[in-house]
């Protein structure tokens, strides 16, 4: 009989993450007890928030303990059920972690339909990243037709959705991404009006040119110097949805943001948010996304690592921006 | 007959403000034309926002041009009227600038009652600073009974009101101020539960001790390292009313704020605001303040410079925190 594979947190990074912070182990496949199900995971999601869980310091949620299985979103198939709500062959999305097999009492698991949209999208555009995009844009930025919406990490799992939703709202969508290929994809595939390659070194000048009416909404995924540059172009009464600060996550000494004055002078509202705080909006957003994906109105792109053993490398790449679209690990 | 005195902007500071940036001039007292009044200013208000008006760079409002009279809030007496709405002997509050006499067509002037509260308070607790305190606390922080409210520049014209209003709301009020005397005043006179002297060099430790339940609201007047320190203690879903950044105003290279991560992780709402944006709230706030001052429930303190010629020195002192309470210039 086959075995379970798991990736454990081996040690806590203080700066950059390396493979040595993870440990791949082989375990027996567990047996479900009454009230439990056994799930064979098909896809594992890799997301920037996981970097916070690797640290001991306070973040949204509790840290992963050393020696524990890394946390992570998954979709998989129920292969054995001793639970009234699930039967063998059901597909479930939830957070079963970096492993091939997992037991669950069903808490936090949602049944998903692999015939409605591709199974992997429940971890991306029809999952947490999609709901994150919706919540930050619609609830915090609240863009109106004609507004200019700037999105950092514009081609990523979250940013890619933000840009498309902004266009549906009648806004001008301007992306910021790393590299020419991502920017071309943002404009040609996702429909951004413009996308600036920050690696080309002329972010301020090019952003200013791409936003002739200034910036009304900023959906922030990266922080650091990008944040400072965008802040210089904020309009009075603009909104900043603070979704992520990926450029800081591996830094022991975070970047110091100098343009706080723009928040004051322009009477900006900047708000941090986490999608899980508003499960009512989450559910609504997921339904919308599923409809938009199945009708072909919402595009997405996936970077797929093959096999659990490649998850650490893919995660390290994600923190460095080497992914292109939603980063997934294929487990079957 | 006596002459008018005016303080003009002589040149633009690039870093710290010095007396050389101002010029005191003597002019004839102007004659009101039909539709105009001549006002003899009694009090001039000095406020941190004036630093922004001295620079050419974009701020809330247009810069003062070199050679123009410095802008500023005033209260004074109508000594000649060719305007239907005003008569000789009326007292008026408005923005007639750094000068002894001024013409006005009445725009932006409000009649005030010197018998209700002392005339000078229309520039302080019953004026723009009082309305600023009300707007930031009530509209942005929205504190609830039991919340911990932290106020920087706690004994100042704005901060002193914020702390007292927070106590009236049933909150724990914790101040931050420069020096032992200001902190003692904040606690003993204004009713703060605690006040930390940031100059003593142990702000984080002392603030942590004074806020055992963390910080729910932060009314920010100063920015810089104080902001970074307070950000470390913000609670989930806390609010930051960004009112001022006085520690940055004289810096060519602003301080870099490192703790943006706290805004994200704690889902904080930070909002910049300017009292003039919401004149409906302004008027309501002023009426509340007048009532609270005349009934003795709201305390305030004034630093008074004697004579217009001392306005520049007093303003430079204000930017360095050498004032104690509302900084005024007595003109009669």
> Closest Cα partner for B21 from B60, B59, B70?
B70
pLDDT in tens, B73-87: 999 999 999 999 999
Is the pLDDT at B165 greater than 60, yes or no? yes
> Closest Cα partner for A332 from A43, A28, A96, A78?
A43
Q: Residue B24 burial by CB count (10 A; 0-12/13-18/19+): exposed, middle or buried?
A: middle
Is B260 within 8 Å of A277 when comparing Cβ atoms? no
The beta-carbon neighbor of B263 closest among A58, A60, A242 is: A242
Is A265 within 8 Å of B223 when comparing Cβ atoms? no
Is A242 within 8 Å of B264 when comparing Cβ atoms? yes
Alpha carbons B321 and B303: distance in angstroms, whole number: 11
Residues B158-168, mean pLDDT to the nearest whole number = 98
Instruction: State the alpha helices, DSSP H only, in chain A.
Output: 50-54, 128-134, 159-168, 180-188, 203-210, 224-231, 260-265, 279-294, 311-319
As beta bridge partners, residue B219 has: B151, B241
Predicted TM-score (pTM) of this structure: 0.91
> Closest Cα partner for A144 from A174, A163, A164, A168?
A168
With contact defined as beta carbons under 8 Å apart, do B301 and B278 qualify?
no
User: In this structure, what DSSP letter does residue B289 have?
Assistant: H
With contact defined as beta carbons under 8 Å apart, do B232 and B164 qualify?
no
Is A272 within 8 Å of B259 when comparing Cβ atoms? no
Q: Where are any strands of DSSP class E within B37-140? A: 37-45, 74-81, 91-94, 101-104, 110-112
Residues B16-32, mean pLDDT to the nearest whole number = 96
Interface test with B, best of A272, A275, A276 (most B CBs within 10 A): A272
Helix (H, G, I), strand (E, B) or coil at A4: strand
Written as six digits, the tokens of A90 are: 């059901």
Q: How confident is the model at residue B58 (pLDDT cuts 50, 70, 90)?
A: low
Contact list in A for residue B261 (CB cut-off 8 A) is 223, 245, 248, 254
Contact list in A for residue B63 (CB cut-off 8 A) is none
Place of tokens 């600073």: B129
Helix (H, G, I), strand (E, B) or coil at B148: strand
Dihedral angle sign, alpha carbons of residues B314, B153, B225, A204? negative
Count interface pairs A-B at CB distance under 8 A: 94
With contact defined as beta carbons under 8 Å apart, do A166 and A143 qualify?
yes
Mean pLDDT estimate for chain A: 95
pLDDT in tens, B98-137: 999 999 999 999 999 999 999 999 999 999 999 999 999 9
Place of tokens 């990266």: A222
- B268–chain A nearest CA distance, Å: 5
pLDDT of residue A21: 97
Alpha carbons A36 and B149: distance in angstroms, whole number: 47
Place of tokens 């690797």: A54
**Nearest residue of A to residue B232 by CA position?**
A58
ipTM of this predicted complex?
A: 0.90
pLDDT in tens, B180-221: 999 999 999 999 999 999 999 999 999 999 999 999 999 999
Alpha carbons A51 and A221: distance in angstroms, whole number: 14
User: In this structure, what DSSP letter does residue A257 have?
Assistant: B
CB count, 10 Å around CB of A260?
27
pLDDT in tens, B308-329: 999 999 999 999 989 998 999 9
Is A260 within 8 Å of B245 when comparing Cβ atoms? yes
> Closest Cα partner for B96 from B85, B86, B106?
B106
As beta bridge partners, residue A330 has: A43, A306
Q: For chain B, what percent of residues have pLDDT higher than 70?
A: 99
Is A271 within 8 Å of B266 when comparing Cβ atoms? no
With contact defined as beta carbons under 8 Å apart, do B77 and B39 qualify?
yes
- A155–chain B nearest CA distance, Å: 21
Is B256 within 8 Å of A257 when comparing Cβ atoms? yes
Is B223 within 8 Å of A260 when comparing Cβ atoms? yes
With contact defined as beta carbons under 8 Å apart, do A140 and A239 qualify?
yes
Contact list in A for residue B241 (CB cut-off 8 A) is none
List, in order of start, the domains of chain B with CATH numbers: 4-124+300-330 (3.90.180.10), 128-276 (3.40.50.720)
Interface test with A, best of B272, B275, B278 (most A CBs within 10 A): B272
With contact defined as beta carbons under 8 Å apart, do A135 and A281 qualify?
yes
pLDDT of residue A241: 98
The beta-carbon neighbor of A248 closest among B243, B261, B277 is: B261
With contact defined as beta carbons under 8 Å apart, do A93 and A123 qualify?
yes
Dihedral angle sign, alpha carbons of residues B73, B79, B83, B84? positive
Alpha carbons A158 and A294: distance in angstroms, whole number: 18
Place of tokens 């508003």: A278
Contact list in B for residue A259 (CB cut-off 8 A) is 254
The beta-carbon neighbor of B260 closest among A257, A266, A273 is: A257
pLDDT of residue A62: 81
Concatenated DSSP letters of B165-191: HHHHTT-EEEEEESSHHHHHHHHHTT-
User: In this structure, what DSSP letter does residue B62 have?
Assistant: P
**Nearest residue of A to residue B140 by CA position?**
A269
Dihedral angle sign, alpha carbons of residues A8, A12, A15, A18? negative
Q: How many CA atoms lie within 13 A of A189 on its CB side?
A: 18
**Nearest residue of B to residue A243 by CA position?**
B264
pLDDT of residue B56: 87
What residues of chain A score a pLDDT lower than 70? 1, 58-60
Place of tokens 């996702």: A190
Alpha carbons B28 and B20: distance in angstroms, whole number: 23
Dihedral angle sign, alpha carbons of residues B259, B264, B266, B267? positive
User: In this structure, what DSSP letter does residue A275 have?
Assistant: G
Is the pLDDT at B1 greater than 60, yes or no? no
Is B270 within 8 Å of A269 when comparing Cβ atoms? yes
Is A260 within 8 Å of B268 when comparing Cβ atoms? no
User: In this structure, what DSSP letter does residue B137 have?
Assistant: I
CA distances from B35 to A179, B66, B84, B103, B116 (A): 63, 28, 7, 10, 28
pLDDT of residue A302: 95
CA distances from B119 to B93, B111, B279 (A): 9, 11, 21
- B137–chain A nearest CA distance, Å: 15
Torsion of CA B303, B306, B308, B309, to 10 degrees: -110
What are the backbone dihedrals phi and psi of residue B149, each rounded to the nearest 5 degrees, phi first? -110, 120
Place of tokens 């923190």: A319
> Closest Cα partner for B48 from B164, B273, B222, B228?
B222
């Amino acid at each position: 009989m086959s075995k379970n594979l798991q990736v454990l947190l081996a040690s806590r990074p203080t700066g950059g993450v390396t493979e040595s912070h993870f440990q791949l182990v082989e375990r027996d496949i567990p047996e479900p007890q009454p009230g439990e199900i056994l799930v064979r995971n098909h896809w594992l999601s890799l997301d920037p928030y996981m970097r916070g869980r690797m640290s001991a310091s306070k973040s949204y949620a509790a840290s992963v303990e050393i020696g524990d299985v890394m946390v992570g979103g998954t979709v998989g198939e129920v292969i054995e059920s001793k639970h009234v709500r699930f039967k063998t062959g059901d597909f479930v999305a939830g957070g079963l972690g970096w492993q091939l097999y997992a037991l669950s009492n069903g808490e936090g698991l949602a049944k998903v339909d692999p015939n409605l949209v591709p199974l992997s999208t429940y971890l991306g555009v029809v999952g947490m990243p999609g709901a994150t995009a919706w919540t930050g844009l619609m609830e915090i930025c609240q863009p109106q037709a004609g507004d200019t919406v700037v999105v950092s990490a514009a081609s990523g799992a979250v940013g890619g959705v933000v840009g498309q939703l902004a266009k549906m709202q009648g806004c001008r969508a301007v992306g910021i991404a790393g590299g020419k290929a991502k920017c071309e994809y943002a404009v040609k595939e996702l429909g951004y009006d413009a996308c600036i390659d920050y690696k080309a070194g002329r972010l301020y000048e090019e952003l200013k040119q791409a936003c002739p009416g200034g910036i009304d909404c900023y959906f922030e995924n990266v922080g650091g110097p990008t944040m400072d540059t965008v802040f210089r172009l904020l309009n009075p009464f603009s909104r900043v949805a603070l979704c992520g600060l990926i450029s800081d996550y591996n830094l022991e000494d975070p970047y110091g943001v100098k343009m706080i004055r723009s928040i004051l002078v322009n009477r900006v509202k900047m708000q941090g948010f986490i999608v899980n705080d508003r499960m009512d909006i989450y559910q609504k957003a997921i339904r919308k996304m599923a409809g938009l994906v199945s009708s072909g109105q919402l595009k997405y792109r996936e970077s797929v690592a093959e096999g659990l053993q490649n998850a650490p490398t893919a995660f390290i790449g994600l923190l460095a921006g080497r992914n292109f679209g939603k980063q997934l690990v294929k487990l079957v």
